[in-house]
Amino acid sequence: MLKFIFLDRNAISCIKENLAGKKPDPEMLKRLRKLRQFDKESFIVSPMLSIIEGQIGKREDEEQKLNTIKVESAAVSDFFLHARTDSGFIEVAANEIANIFSENIEGNWVGYIDFLKVIQEMLYQSISKANRPKYKSDILQLAKKNNIPLAHPIVICCLAVLYGNNDVRSILKPKKNIAEDSKNKAAYNALNDILLISRLGHIQAVFNKYGNGRVVVEFLTFDKGLEFFLKKTKIIDIKLNDDGEVFITAISSQEFFPDLNESSHIALFDELREKS
């Protein structure tokens, strides 16, 4: 069984700082030790998901994407001495990869970004229990306005914040009265984190179909909020059709909603199904 480890942007940043000779503080040492655990022949390590996100907090053009590919693939191949990496393939196919990921984005990208930009100010502070029904209704209406399914992870994350989840709050980073550029960057970063569920699921589906179940996909991040989100979102079914489309069924545990008891958690998802 092979384990394919995809690195988050913060893991890549740690590697680049180490290679540049930065003196590590205790937190950096902890991260480096974690990264070294994967420096074994049984692992394949990839910067691809970090490359897709990019280095500048917004969509990269082809030239910027080529630079990201050059920097991050080299960093991974230089850092890992024993683990296999896909840096060689990425570097050989750099032009094709840059073209693909600078020109193509997930469907309804603009709708997702517009939704998150409004949410940032809507949820910038904790909402009182008395006001939560109204805010929940506003979130669901906003999702429908932007053609986002009510059970989409983006909507679930917003509802999680509404019901007291500070781990997920750290992904959305909602703030009030921030500059448009900062608002766009925050929405872009949050969206890339949330879409990791579908991106990782898509990769796993390809390996399931063509790798005979011999490859397991994992993701390494040092972001505690993102780690919580990925661990508590359980993918229960992945299907890849002949056209390359992936259909993912996932569930969010009750831990996503700290202020809801079991019956309220069930009622919330019943409501999402009824209104979808």
Q: Which residue has the higher pLDDT, 88 or 213?
A: 88
Q: Is 28 exposed, middle or buried (0-12, 13-18, 19+ CB in 10 A)?
A: middle
Whole-number pLDDT of residue 212: 66
% of the chain exceeding 70 in pLDDT: 99
| Mean pLDDT taken over the chain | 93
Task: Tell me, letter by letter, the H, E, C secondary structure of 113-178.
Answer: HHHHHHHHHHCCCCCCHHHHHHHHHHHHHHHHHCCCCCCCHHHHHHHHHHCCCHHHHHHHCCCCCC
Q: Which residue has the higher pLDDT, 17 or 203?
A: 17
Confidence of residue 88 (pLDDT cuts 50, 70, 90): very high
Question: What number is the average pLDDT over the span 22-39?
Answer: 97
Give the pair of three-digit tokens for residue 186.
């925050």
Question: What number is the average pLDDT over the span 88-92?
Answer: 93
* pLDDT single digits (tens) 113-129: 999 999 999 999 999 99
% of the chain exceeding 90 in pLDDT: 80
pTM of the model: 0.92
CA separation (Å) from 180 to 16, 57, 117, 211? 30, 13, 9, 44
Are β-strands 233-240 and 246-252 bridged in parallel, bridged antiparallel, or unpaired? antiparallel
Give the pair of three-digit tokens for residue 12.
């890549």
Confidence of residue 67 (pLDDT cuts 50, 70, 90): very high
Q: Which residue has the higher pLDDT, 60 or 204?
A: 60
Whole-number pLDDT of residue 104: 79
CA 159, CA 95: separation in Å to the nearest integer? 40
* pLDDT single digits (tens) 159-171: 999 999 999 999 9
Buried b (16+ CB within 10 A) or exposed e, 57-89: bebbeeebbbbbbeebbbbbbebbeebbbbbee
Q: Which residue has the higher pLDDT, 234 or 66?
A: 66
* pLDDT single digits (tens) 178-219: 999 999 999 999 999 999 998 998 888 888 877 766 788 999
Q: Which residue has the higher pLDDT, 252 or 71?
A: 71
Whole-number pLDDT of residue 251: 85
